[in-house]
Amino acid sequence: DSGVTQTPKHLITATGQRVTLRCSPRSGDLSVYWYQQSLDQGLQFLIQYYNGEERAKGNILERFSAQQFPDLHSELNLSSLELGDSALYFCASSVEGQGVYTQYFGPGTRLTVL
Amino acid sequence: AQKITQTQPGMFVQEKEAVTLDCTYDTSDQSYGLFWYKQPSSGEMIFLIYQGSYDEQNATEGRYSLNFQKARKSANLVISASQLGDSAMYFCAMRGAPSNDYKLSFGAGTTVTVRA
């Protein structure tokens, strides 16, 4: 158990819908990262938040947005869903300022868009 | 930008034998970190081992060791005494310079199947 929690574990929805994925980082970790894992694209970095502020953006679609709240949990919002958004979405967290910055991953949310 | 290459899509290994998973990387950063993660069929990503670009010794964690050859830009994972529970997908990942690049870039992964 990495200490990172993600809910829900599975999500099945229809095209055009909007969903919210939730992540709670490990205790003490200020950074949260979101990744998407799909068969065709592999594992891709989406976005990073540090202590409530957006720090880095990757290949995140405009239909996707994220935020990190004062209690450090984060939410990834996916809207106008398309079939191609079906993927495993991971949240990871890390401690800053200690050199290694190992990212510990949550169990993932498997999104299926029908 | 970092690029990670894992050229072995799948490997079979006999129980109790060692297996080496290849990983090469490309970066212009002087300071970087290399990671290996394991993804069993259940889907979670499990951190295995880390190697810093300035670390002089190869990293080891139990049955996992990282064969780091900086000049060749390779960071191969060695799993010794393979167990059936080692059957999984293994990903090599890189993080760039700590001051400006925190994201992980992943390779395509290698599937390891351990045979009894």
The reported pLDDT for the residue numbered B115 is 97
Tens digits of per-residue pLDDT, A41-72?
Answer: 999 999 999 999 999 999 899 999 999 999 99
- Distance from first CA to last CA of chain B, Å, rounded? 41
Report CA-CA distances (Å) from A23 to A34, A37, A79, B12.
Answer: 9, 16, 18, 35
A45/B43 Cβ within 8 A: no
Cβ atoms A56, A50 nearer than 8 A: no
Cβ atoms B58, B52 nearer than 8 A: no
Quick check: A57 contacting B, CB < 8 Å? Answer: no
Tens digits of per-residue pLDDT, B35-62?
Answer: 999 999 999 999 999 999 999 899 999 9
B47/A104 Cβ within 8 A: yes
Which residues in chain A are closer than 8 Å to B35, comparing Cβ atoms? 102-103
Task: Read off the pLDDT band of B99 (50, 70, 90).
Answer: low
Separation CA B89–CA A42 (nearest Å)? 12
Cβ atoms B13, B20 nearer than 8 A: no
B102/A31 Cβ within 8 A: yes
B44/A105 Cβ within 8 A: yes
Which residues on chain B place their C-beta less than 8 Å from a C-beta of chain A?
33, 35, 37, 43-47, 50, 52, 91, 93, 95, 98, 101-106, 108-109
The Cα of A81 is separated from the nearest Cα of chain B by a number of Å equal to 22
> Searching chain A, which residue's CA lies closest to the CA of residue B36?
A102
- pLDDT higher at B102 or B26: B26
Non-local (6+) Cβ contacts of A60 within 8 A are: A34, A46, A47, A66
**In degrees rounded to 5, what are phi and psi of residue A94?**
-150, 160
Separation CA A108–CA A63 (nearest Å)? 20
- Mean of the per-residue pLDDT values for chain A? 94
Separation CA A86–CA B112 (nearest Å)? 25
- Mean of the per-residue pLDDT values for chain B? 94
The reported pLDDT for the residue numbered A98 is 57
Tens digits of per-residue pLDDT, A66-111?
Answer: 999 999 999 999 999 999 999 999 999 998 765 668 999 999 999 9
| Mean pLDDT, rounded, for B20-37 | 94
The reported pLDDT for the residue numbered A97 is 61
Tokens of B82: 């393979």
The reported pLDDT for the residue numbered B114 is 98
| Mean pLDDT, rounded, for B63-73 | 97
- pLDDT higher at A101 or A20: A20
SS3 (DSSP) at B11: strand
Tens digits of per-residue pLDDT, B31-42?
Answer: 899 999 999 999
The reported pLDDT for the residue numbered B100 is 63
Nearest residue to B105 (alpha-carbon basis) of B28, B11, B33: B33
Cβ atoms B50, B114 nearer than 8 A: no
